[in-house]
Every structure is written in structure tokens, then in C-alpha cells.
Chain A
């Protein structure tokens, strides 16, 4: 680190932290409850459903990845306040929209894969 660089003073406000913990817990619990429906769905995987078990997996991925991780992340990031050390001024933080939505898509896709890697193996073997 050269002489002309300075580190920010990172302050974390507690309210968004608590909020982010609550959001991630609620999203994860909703995903776990939905997983029971997924079990029932695949138990009765005989008859026509409006959606198959993969739709249940998609719901779980949205709840876990979208709500419990992505929303939690940006609520949690809003807790951090960057302050210059020498002057008492808060530095504003911005987010790039494209990368933000790319992260949402990435987490949902990876959670969808991670909930049942069997699907990936089957898709690879059938294609």
C-alpha cells in the first residue's frame, strides 16, 4: 500500500444486520417447508400435476437463492457505511444494475442445481 492510499473506516449499523438475518432465516425456513411438498410431490409422482417436481425445485431455489441469499445480501450490504478517516464525510456507494441481476440469476441457478444434482446427471446422460 503506497502512501497516497488510505483505508475507509467501515461502520456497520445494526438494524440492517438484524433485518438481513431475519430475512435469510425466513427464506430458508420457507424453502425447508416447501421441500416437504416436494417430497410429497415426488412420492405421488404418478399422476399429472400442473408442474412436476422440478417446479418445486424451482420454487425452493427462488426462496433459498433469491430471498434468503440475494435479498439478505443487499439488505446486509446496506448496513455498511464508508467514512473517510480524515474528514467526517460518508462516501456514497452505488451498485451496477447488470452485475446485480447477474448475481441473482447465478444464485438461483446454482441453488437449483445444488438441491438435486441428480437432475444434472440425468440431463447430461439423456442429451
Chain B
């Protein structure tokens, strides 16, 4: 594992966003055959499953704390004729149950499901473990309480700050349903945003795919795209403007006759977005199959040998304009190569 795993501040604290997935597959691919033979068959898997346990335990501690704090605040909120005597040993046991079960659930969620993301049973087991954490803690915590009354009965006033138990149950169920619908609405809204962004990425990838000079295979180009976008998002983590620009670096140059800028104001180098030039395939002959062409229609594109620099395409909306191919480019819309 030497040299493969680069520890950084990110990986130190990383709970695991999908960095862990990328990290796992990166390490798995970087692991050479000899090294895999030296180690056992499952050694790498086990090492992956049990690495970086500190943030995991921290998250489990926080969540168990949430369960326990909620439960005991809810018990303290009870008002009845008498008071509660607590058994401290059982309280400690309930906290321990919550802690162990929530850490186990988080381990499945953050470690096992990262490696086996398609196993639905793991998700069910995880939910069952979380339910065990909550329920076990709850009923153990209830067993810790002894409800005591004295001979002098206290008459509870009918105040608006007090809710009877049945109404509290109905209110909790209604609030739970409302919270579920609220979460559903939020999730759908967020999924919409995610779909938008994915559609944009797929559009950029499609533009790469129709590039006839793109010799790299799709997986590699996807990885390059992902890396570029990842760097972009890391550098501009807290600025929204940076996230709005999707830029792709194409590995192969384009010929000058293939791309033209349609908007004159976008042709300048000193653009407001910076380093973004919009160049589009202007002649729609490239994309309309003609019977005279041999093979695929995009094979008609004639490459130009010089111009080895990279080209950057911004994520602006491209407007196709029908221009004759032999028409000379205007001086203002000359091809700018970054």
C-alpha cells in the first residue's frame, strides 16, 4: 500500500463522501498483482473496511447522544402524579446499546455500503440496526425509570402548556408524517438539481464523444472530466460562481475551420468568465449524413496538424448557425486558443 494511499487533511477527516469509493477503486487498480499475491485475497478488503474509524465513531457518538438526549428530555417532559426514580446502571446500559448499535449501523452505511453499493440487503440491515439502536435504547431507558407516587396526590392543572398522552401520540404521528413529506419535497427538489447538473455533464461528455479526434476511451475521458470538475469544486469550495462554470479540457485540438464562435461578444479573451471561448461546429454538414461520405458522417472532419494546445469549452449554450464551410472567418471571431 506504499505510495498508493496519499494521506491528506481530506482523507484524515473524510467521513466518506464518494471520495471513499473513488479512493477504493483507485487503490484497487493501483494495487499490483504481486502486491495482491503477497497479501491475502481479502486482506485489502478488510483493510478498506476498517480504515479511518475515528470519524465513524465520532459520528456514532453524536447520534447516540442525540437518541439519549432526546429520550431523557422526553421523559423529563412527563408530568404526572408523582416523580421518577432512575436506575443509573440501566441508564448506562441504554446509552451503551445506543452507542454500539449506531456505530454498527454507521459502519455498514459508511464502509460496507461504499464497497458493495448495490446490495440492498445491507441497507435493510443498516435500517434494522438503527431501529434496534433507537428501540433498544428507548425501552431500556424506560425500564430504568421507576414511577413513584406519594400519598399526597398532586392535582395537575389544566394548563395550555400540558398535552395529554393520547394527544401527544397523535400529534407526534402527524408531525412525523409532516416531516416525512417535508423531507420528500426537499429530496425531490434536490434530485431535480442533481439531474440538471448530471444532464450538463452528460452533455459535455456527449460533445467529447462526437469528437472524431478523441482517441481516449470513454472511461478515461470520464475520469479526466471528473478530475477536472473535482479540482474546480475543491478550489472554489465556498464560492458559488466557481461552481457554475463547467470546463472541459479536450485532449485533441480542433481545426480552425471546424469551429466558429457565433456570438461576437464571446470571442474576446478577456471574458467575464475568463479563459472561456465558445467555439462551435458551425457547419451542420458534419452532423448530417450525406450519401457520398464513406463511413460515419463525422469522419469527414479534416484534422489540422499544428495547434497542439488544449482547448477549453465553456458550458454556455451553443447556438448553431448555418454558415458555408468555405466562408472565411471574420477577424473578430478568430479562433482563440488558450
Q: Do A and B come from one complex?
A: yes
A residues apposed to B, CB below 8 Å: 1, 4-8, 10, 16-17, 20-21, 23-25, 27-37, 39-51, 53, 55-56, 58-59, 62-78, 80, 82, 84, 91-100, 102-104, 106-107, 109-111, 113-118, 121-122, 126
Q: Which of B184-240 contact A (CB under 8 A)?
A: 186-187, 189-194, 196-198, 200-201, 229-230, 232-233, 238, 240
A45 to B243, CA, bound (A): 8
A124 to B179, CA, bound (A): 29
Minimum CB–CB distance for B312 against chain A, Å: 15
Interface size class of B (residues with CB under 8 A): 35 or more
Q: Which of B117-156 contact A (CB under 8 A)?
A: 117, 123-124, 126-128, 130-131, 134-135, 138-139, 142, 146-152, 156
Can you name the residue of chain A whose Cβ is closest to the Cβ of B169?
A78
Contact present for B70 and A107 (CB under 8 Å):
yes
Contact present for A76 and B62 (CB under 8 Å):
no
A98 to B76, CA, bound (A): 11
Question: Which among B36-44, B52-60, B253-261, B267-275 touches the partner chain?
Answer: B52-60
Minimum CB–CB distance for A113 against chain B, Å: 5
Q: Is B92 an interface residue (CB 8 A)?
A: no
B residues apposed to A, CB below 8 Å: 13-15, 17-18, 21, 55, 58-67, 69-71, 73-74, 76-82, 85, 102, 105, 109, 117, 123-124, 126-128, 130-131, 134-135, 138-139, 142, 146-152, 156, 161-166, 168-169, 171-173, 175-176, 179-180, 182-183, 186-187, 189-194, 196-198, 200-201, 229-230, 232-233, 238, 240, 243-244, 246
